């Protein structure tokens, strides 16, 4: 009898741990919420408190996978994903005080955690105002926060657990996963075991790729843009004749000539006011905030580091020198935060989701006064992914309408991991918005991580790269059905 009594008390305590965070109602939504939701703070350190918003699955929440979502930046809020990509609600575009159900919401099939990280982003705060963030601090504090989440929701520790994210989440997600996997291997991690990760249109470090400091990012960017109809054929031919793309791909520091950069600037002028994050969509930039950085503490909008100046080779002198872009033309970074800002800056909404006023106008990429970020991880394919692919499911995906972190980048680094191909490049399918079945959702290649093992074990990793046809930088925003199918495939360890 004593044993049953203790079990009953433990169950009551577990329920009580998260009950204060339960959202009982939301402004703009009439009646009960579609599924239980919780919002509050997770302890990431003695001083760091990260805001989370948890939405239970519509299908068997007691056993459904748990998915944690991270947006990028660095410095952009994961409530961007909540309201614009895969959360349960959309905000009425004509009335920011009203909510509507999103058709392709991820909590149809998953328990969803939206974490505003790192500290100082969105509603997350530091009690000692320490907002000097970097890749390593962010990974450590994200791990601590998720361990705290599973203290609040211990009943979910038995479920599959995935971490997903996009853009600079290409650094956040794998480094977070690395912290957990290492903690699992040395038995110090106390949260749910990590099943896998999915990284969309992601950065890979300071030394390589589109977010790195060398000319390799220029190669990936323009390999993508020169495949569009935005630049004249004659100019494309002149660029390809002048630019030493082979050297740029190898990240040689002086790979690009002055003439090459001049031609790229000419092409940039031709491209014009095109949305970097969605080259076939509109370009709208609106933070939804009327106050400026100097009186709000809000940092400028961005979703990835801006392109560095080019290091160019002057053929006449044989010397290398830096040359910035000489034309302020396209593609442009266009971020429309107006709807989410209009909703989340309402004091009644803040009260409903149990957050404190951040002291500045909340926007998709808004941060606390004094916030800064230093990228400290140079090369994730070399330093982090080998551990991950051996221990968990790893899915790298790219929307093919994105010029910010185009598929040319992630396709190349995944191929250069040096793993044998298990399943060669092929289409994967989904059911379209119109109900048409077996439509091409994108393309996939699967790599063999067995390293000579005869058979994969139940706990072995996996490694796949896929494209998502019609997906922008924020894939679920323009390819929602494809994204939900991608999630279902991942949950069921189903190959694309």
Give me the phi and psi of 128, to 5 degrees please.
-110, 15
Q: Which residue has the tokens 């302890």?
A: 43
Question: What's the pLDDT score for residue 161?
Answer: 98
pLDDT at residue 139 tops 60:
yes
Question: What's the pLDDT score for residue 421?
Answer: 96
Within 10 A of 424 (CB to CB), how many other CB atoms are there?
8
**How sure is the predictor about 4, in pLDDT bands with cuts at 50, 70 and 90?**
very low
Start-end of H helices in 275-384 = 293-296, 338-344, 347-352, 380-383
Give me the phi and psi of 16, to 5 degrees please.
-70, -25
Rounded CA gap, 191 and 82, in Å? Answer: 23
Closest among 222, 218, 228, 295 to 253, alpha carbons compared: 218
**How sure is the predictor about 323, in pLDDT bands with cuts at 50, 70 and 90?**
very low
Q: Which residue has the tokens 């239970």?
A: 56
pLDDT at residue 316 tops 50:
no
Rounded CA gap, 47 and 141, in Å? Answer: 10
What sign has the CA pseudo-torsion 350, 356, 362, 365? negative
CB 283 within 8 A of CB 275: yes
The percent of residues in the chain predicted with pLDDT above 90, rounded, is: 81
The mean predicted confidence, pLDDT, of the chain is 89
- Residues 18-53: tens digit of each pLDDT: 889 999 999 999 999 999 999 999 999 999 999 999
Which range is least confidently modeled, 28-42, 220-234, 384-398, 446-460? 446-460
- Residues 98-108: tens digit of each pLDDT: 999 999 999 99
Rounded CA gap, 148 and 44, in Å? Answer: 8
Rounded CA gap, 337 and 83, in Å? Answer: 10
Question: What's the pLDDT score for residue 330?
Answer: 84
Rounded CA gap, 115 and 166, in Å? Answer: 13
Rounded CA gap, 167 and 409, in Å? Answer: 12
| 97 Cβ contact list (under 8 Å, min separation 6) | 27, 28, 342, 343, 346
DSSP letters along 374-417, please? E-----HHHHTHHHHHHHSEEEEEEETT-SSS-HHHHHHHHHTT
CB 200 within 8 A of CB 410: no
pLDDT at residue 229 tops 50:
yes
Question: What's the pLDDT score for residue 72?
Answer: 94
Within 10 A of 451 (CB to CB), how many other CB atoms are there?
10
- Residues 161-216: tens digit of each pLDDT: 999 999 999 999 999 999 999 999 999 999 999 999 999 999 999 999 999 988 99
What's the whole-number mean pLDDT along residues 210-237? 95
Burial class from Cβ neighbours inside 10 Å (0-12, 13-18, 19+) for residue 273 reads exposed
The CA distances from residue 303 to 78, 165, 415, in Å, are 12, 13, 25
| 260 Cβ contact list (under 8 Å, min separation 6) | 239, 242, 243, 244, 312
- Here the tokens at position 434 are 């119109």
What's the whole-number mean pLDDT along residues 78-82? 97
CB 441 within 8 A of CB 485: yes
- Identify whether 331 is preceded by a cis peptide bond (ω within 30 of 0): yes
Question: What's the pLDDT score for residue 96?
Answer: 92
pLDDT at residue 446 tops 90:
yes
Which range is least confidently modeled, 13-17, 176-180, 247-251? 13-17
- Here the tokens at position 253 are 């520091």
Give the 3-state secondary structure of residue 39: strand
Question: What's the pLDDT score for residue 303?
Answer: 63
Rounded CA gap, 277 and 284, in Å? Answer: 11
Rounded CA gap, 265 and 244, in Å? Answer: 16
- Here the tokens at position 478 are 């323009």
pLDDT at residue 65 tops 80:
yes
Helices 216-225 and 407-415, axial angle in degrees (round to 10): 120
Question: What's the pLDDT score for residue 493?
Answer: 86
pLDDT at residue 236 tops 50:
yes
**How sure is the predictor about 7, in pLDDT bands with cuts at 50, 70 and 90?**
very low
Give the 3-state secondary structure of residue 431: coil
Rounded CA gap, 471 and 201, in Å? Answer: 10
Within 10 A of 5 (CB to CB), how many other CB atoms are there?
9
Give the 3-state secondary structure of residue 153: coil
- pTM greater than 0.75 (yes/no): yes
CB 274 within 8 A of CB 330: yes
pLDDT at residue 456 tops 80:
no
């Amino acid at each position: 009898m004593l044993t049953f009594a203790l079990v009953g008390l433990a169950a009551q305590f577990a329920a009580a741990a998260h009950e204060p965070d339960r959202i009982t109602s939301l402004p703009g939504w009439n009646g009960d919420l579609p599924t239980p939701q919780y919002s509050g703070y997770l302890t990431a350190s003695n001083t760091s408190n990260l805001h989370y918003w948890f939405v239970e699955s519509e299908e068997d929440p007691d056993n459904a996978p748990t998915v944690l979502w991270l947006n990028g930046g660095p410095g952009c809020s994961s409530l961007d994903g909540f309201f614009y990509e895969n959360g349960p609600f959309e905000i009425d575009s004509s009335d920011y005080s009203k909510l509507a159900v999103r058709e392709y919401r991820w909590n149809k099939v998953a328990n969803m955690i939206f974490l505003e990280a790192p500290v100082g982003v969105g509603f997350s705060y530091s009690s000692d105002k320490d907002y000097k963030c970097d890749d390593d601090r962010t990974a450590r504090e994200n791990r601590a926060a998720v361990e705290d989440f599973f203290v609040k929701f211990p009943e979910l520790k038995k479920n599959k657990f995935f971490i997903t994210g996009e853009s600079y989440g290409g650094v956040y997600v794998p480094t977070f996963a690395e912290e957990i996997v290492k903690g699992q291997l040395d038995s110090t991690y106390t949260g749910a075991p990590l099943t896998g990760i999915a990284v969309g249109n992601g950065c890979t470090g300071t030394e390589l790729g589109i977010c790195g400091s060398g000319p390799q990012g220029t190669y990936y960017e323009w390999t993508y843009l020169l495949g569009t109809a935005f630049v004249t054929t004659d100019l494309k031919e002149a660029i390809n004749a002048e630019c030493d793309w082979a050297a740029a791909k190898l990240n040689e520091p002086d790979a690009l000539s002055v003439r090459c950069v001049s031609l790229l600037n000419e092409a940039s002028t031709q491209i014009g006011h095109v949305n970097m994050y969605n080259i076939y969509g509109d370009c709208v930039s609106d933070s939804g905030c009327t106050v400026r950085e100097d009186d709000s503490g809000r940092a400028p909008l961005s979703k990835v580091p801006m392109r560095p100046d080019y290091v160019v080779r002057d053929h006449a002198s044989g010397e290398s020198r830096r040359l910035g872009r000489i034309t302020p033309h396209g593609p442009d970074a266009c971020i429309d935060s107006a709807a989410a800002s209009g909703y989340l800056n309402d004091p009644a909404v803040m009260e409903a989701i149990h957050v404190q006023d951040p002291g500045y106008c909340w926007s998709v990429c808004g941060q606390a006064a004094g916030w800064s970020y230093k990228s400290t991880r140079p090369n994730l394919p070399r330093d982090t992914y080998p551990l991950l692919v051996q221990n968990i499911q790893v899915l790298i995906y790219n929307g093919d309408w994105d010029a910010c972190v185009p598929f040319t980048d992630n396709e190349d680094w995944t191929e250069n991991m040096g793993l044998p191909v298990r399943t060669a490049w092929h289409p994967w399918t989904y059911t379209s918005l119109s109900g048409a079945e077996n439509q091409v959702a994108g393309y996939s290649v699967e790599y063999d991580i067995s390293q000579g093992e005869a058979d994969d074990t139940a706990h072995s990793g996996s490694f796949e790269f896929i494209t998502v046809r019609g997906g922008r930088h924020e894939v679920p925003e323009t390819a929602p059905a494809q994204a939900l199918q991608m999630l279902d495939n991942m949950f069921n360890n189903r190959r694309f």
